[in-house]
Structure 1
Amino acid sequence: MTTWKNDPAHSRLGFVVRHLTITELAGRFAEFTVTAEIGKDDLSDAKFSMAAQTASIDTDVAARDEHLRSGDFFEAAVHPVMTFESSKVRLEAAGEGKISGTLTIRGVAKDVTFNFRSSEVVTNPMTKKPTRSFKVWGDIKRKDFGVGVNEPAAMVGEIVHVSADAECSPA
């Protein structure tokens, strides 16, 4: 097994949620890590983990970010990290499929399944290391994880679209 780690400068963990049933607002977690344990080139034995610092939430509006860090949403002081641990990668085509595992937010752990895509391995011309990207995306229900339970869907949409892109190389 080889351990792959993401390059923070070339990785992103973002989300989009509807606001006031009018528009969609995007945000991200600025501090997160992705680790992949890979033995087989086809990824059939791959195990992925992600850890994001909830206090690193960034929506480009400082007051909103502080509210999202509060007990009304992520309660970052009590739950500083949200995590994902994969249990299965099901490839449906070359480098594409589904990734299932446990997502934990605010201490609430739920099994989820996301879409998954991996690039081919290339040699990074800057670092000379083998490098590949992983993309994960899908939807979760924020209230399933105790996030914003007192916020009506008319204010903050209940479905949150999650999208992660990680450029990784062997550690």
Structure 2
Amino acid sequence: MKKITIIASLLALSATTFAQSKWSVDKAHARLGYTISHMTLSESEGNFKSYTADITASKADFSDASFNISIDVASLNTENEMRDKHLKSADFFDAEKYPTITFKSTSFKKTSGNQYRLVGDLTFHGVTKQVMLNAVYNGTQENAQSKKLVAGFTITGTFKRKDFGFATEAPATMLGEDVKLRASGEFVKE
């Protein structure tokens, strides 16, 4: 009987150790944005102030992680109010017609060390396409103040704006063809 109790306890501990964990973005320590070439002379940057992002994983190295992100397009911020208003119009993001950008991962595979290949479905401007992104897992540690586990990630990638029907009237000499994504942040284990 004692042997069965010990085995049952080990199985319960094992299930707890490898159970699915949810991690939510800590917006105070995160940024989600993009860069695009303007007139082939400079880079125009923007970020989003309102979004949700979470990760679900059962492995400590996040090698089985699933990422979900939802962005409020109306929260676009380029540090220029007039430009923000124009970008939210039907000429560009069309925030009224397409209020949300979403990303749902379909795979997250280690390529080497702390480097991963993140693949998923990006829904942007009413179009859903698979995109491939690069992810760096920056590690996990306990926050000294909250005593909660925190994991850090940096995600980068590029997609063609015209693949999503975005600003199709703008020539490449005015607005670059490639949209560069960059997200960096901390996720807190719930």
Question: 1:55 touches 1:69 (CA, 8 Å); kept in 2?
Answer: yes
| Residue equivalent to 1:114 | 133
1:132 has 2:151 as partner? yes
- Please tell me whether the aligned partners of residues 73 and 146 of structure 1 are also in contact (alpha carbons under 8 angstroms): no
Give yes or no for the alignment of 1:164 onto 2:177. Answer: no
Match of 1:80 in 2: 99
State how far apart, in whole Å, the 1-side matches of 2:177 and 2:121 are.
19
Match runs of 1:90-105 below 5 Å: 90-105=109-124
| Partners of 2:116 and 2:137 within 8 A in 1 | no
Q: Tell me which amino acid in the other structure corresponds to 1:65.
A: D
d(CA) in 2 for partners of 1:104, 1:119: 27
Q: Tell me how far apart the structure 2 counterparts of residues 62 and 152 of structure 1 sit (CA, whole Å).
A: 24
- Give, in angstroms, the shift of residue 145 of structure 1: 1.1
Gaps of 5+ in 2: 1-19
* TM-score, normalization by structure 2: 0.87
Post-superposition, which runs of at least 4 consecutive aligned residues in structure 1 deviate over 4 A?
A: none
Asked whether the equivalents of residues 72 and 149 of structure 1 are also in contact (C-alpha less than 8 Å), the reply is: no
Name whichever structure is richer in helix by fraction: 2
Mapped to 2, the partners of 1:154 and 1:126 lie a distance apart of 49
Residue of structure 1 equivalent to 2:5: none
Number of equivalent positions: 171
Corresponding residue SS for 2:28: helix
State which of 128, 135, 145 in structure 1 corresponds to 2:164. Answer: 145
State the partner residue of 1:59: 78
Instruction: Write the distance in 1 (CA, Å) between the matches of 2:171 and 2:80.
Output: 21
Q: What 5-or-longer segments of structure 1 have no aligned partner?
A: none
